[in-house]
Amino acid sequence: MTRPDAADCRAISDFDLSRRNSLGLAARARYGAFVHEAQEIDALARFAGEVGLPFVVLGGGSNVVLHPEIDAVVAVLATRGRAVTGEADGDLLVTAQAGEDWPDFVQWTVAQGFGGIENLAGIPGTVGAAPVQNIGAYGIELADRFHSLTAYDRAERHWRVFRREDCRFRYRQSVFKDDPGRFVITEVTLALPGEWRPILGYAGLDSLDETVDPKTIMERVLALRGSKLPDWRVLGNAGSFFHNPVVSGAVADTIPGAPRYPQPDGTVKLSAGWLIESCGLKGHRVGDAGVYEKHALIIVNHGRATAHDISALAETIKSAVFERFGVTLQQEPLEIR
């Protein structure tokens, strides 16, 4: 077996990631490479093994907290391609490569006249990252439209196809998150409903008429997001910084006034944004890391925030919410160090 070296797999030393993360944190990796062909992953992973460093895959960098000096080989997935690939049980199958930009992909499906993922418009990140945290917004989540994906299994060193039941999708969770670093998702296929119906249950969409088309819903979703979520190109952020906590009904009853989202199993999902705002933390800052003024679930970078500032602010938030409400918040973005 040949021994891969940095040149074979086009790894660049002292690789700058400052423009590769939506929080806008200054960060460099010991080695990094852009992956344009999925097959390059194996050689890069082996190179990481040879130099004794962890192997980390980055998509759009929209759900990560990057530390300044990352002691790893970082692969930035830049594979492109999207197409209609078939039909299954009356649904239309569309396939995209992992490096495709998710918001562009949604716009493309809608421009073709295909409904199904318009409620997920505008979520920053790549197609390959979408299944990892089972992205969700405005009443649907990726799992609802998922057909299958291809991933490289680094433990078994072979390619695998995952069907929906293999992915163990839950609220912002999946098998890919349960076993971090093991699978590199390279291609995702969605099943867009043959008989499309609008999903208008969420506040802000409920004023739309049942005869609405996917394009109008997408535009409304983009407007809603624009009105409460900061654009990371203008003000660095990683979207929701914490999961919405799911607690027992008894715990929820101890928090009067909190918005409640009852779950089918009797538990109650609470709004982390509301809990944080109720602790008076909107606008609170540690260095240049701050709680967004318009939505308390978002941590923003006002300029030169570091991973250290972000973590210190996250800890302040978690302690305040725990002390006041007895609820533990779980961080959504992954720390890469």
How far apart are the C-alpha atoms of 56 and 32, rounded to whole Å?
Answer: 9
Member of 34, 196, 274, 322 binding ligand EPU (CB under 6 A)? 274
Cα 116 off chain centre by: 19
Max CA-CA distance within the chain?
64
The Cα 150–Cα 326 span in angstroms is 41
Distance CA 324, CA 322 (A): 6
122 lines the binding site for ligand EPU (CB under 6 A): no
Which residue, 53 or 258, has its beta carbon nearer to ligand EPU?
258
How far is residue 25 from each of residues 19, 169, 286, measured CA to CA in Å? 8, 30, 15
The single residue listed with the structure tokens 């160090």 is 337
157 an active-site residue?
no
- Assess 134 for contact with ligand EPU (CB under 6 A): no
Residue 243 found at the interface with ligand EPU (CB under 6 A): yes
Query: Is 62 designated active site?
Result: no
Minimum distance of ligand EPU from residue 145's CB (angstroms): 15
Cβ proximity to ligand EPU: between 41 and 142 the closer is: 142
| Residue span binding ligand EPU (CB under 6 A) among the ranges 75-83, 193-201, 210-218, 273-281 | 273-281
Among 94, 200, 279, 297, binds ligand EPU (CB under 6 A): 297
Q: Which of residues 222-241 bind ligand EPU (CB under 6 A)?
A: 228-229, 239-240
**For residue 224, what are its two tokens?**
């809603």
Nearer to ligand EPU, 48 or 305 (CB): 305
Neighbours of 11 (CB within 10 A): 23
Is there a catalytic annotation at residue 172?
A: yes
| 283/289 Cα distance (integer angstroms) | 10
Question: Does 296 participate in binding ligand EPU (rule CB under 6 A)?
Answer: yes
Q: Is 220 in the site for ligand EPU (CB under 6 A)?
A: no
One of 20, 172, 220, 225 is an active-site residue; which one? Answer: 172
Gap between the Cα atoms of 147 and 224, Å rounded: 28
The answer to whether 60 contacts ligand EPU (rule: CB under 6 A) is no
**DSSP calls for 177-234:** HHSTTTEEEEEEEEEE-SS------STTTTTS-TT--HHHHHHHHHHHHHHHS--TTT
Which of 77, 96, 295, 299 touches ligand EPU (CB under 6 A)? 295
Among 9, 45, 96, 137, binds ligand EPU (CB under 6 A): 137
Q: Which of 10, 260, 311, 332 is catalytic?
A: 332
Question: Is residue 196 a contact residue for ligand EPU (CB under 6 A)?
Answer: no
Taking the complex as a whole, how short is the minimal distance between the CB of residue 188 and ligand EPU, in angstroms?
A: 18
Cα–Cα distance, 89 to 85 (Å, whole number): 14
60: left (phi over 0), alpha (psi -120 to 50) or beta: alpha
* Closest approach of ligand EPU to the CB of residue 246, in Å: 11
If binding is defined by CB under 6 A, does position 277 make contact with ligand EPU?
yes
- Residue 104: CB atoms within 10 Å: 13
Give the binding site for ligand EPU (CB under 6 A).
137-138, 228-229, 239-240, 243-244, 259, 271, 273-274, 277, 295-297
- Catalytic center residues: 172, 240, 332
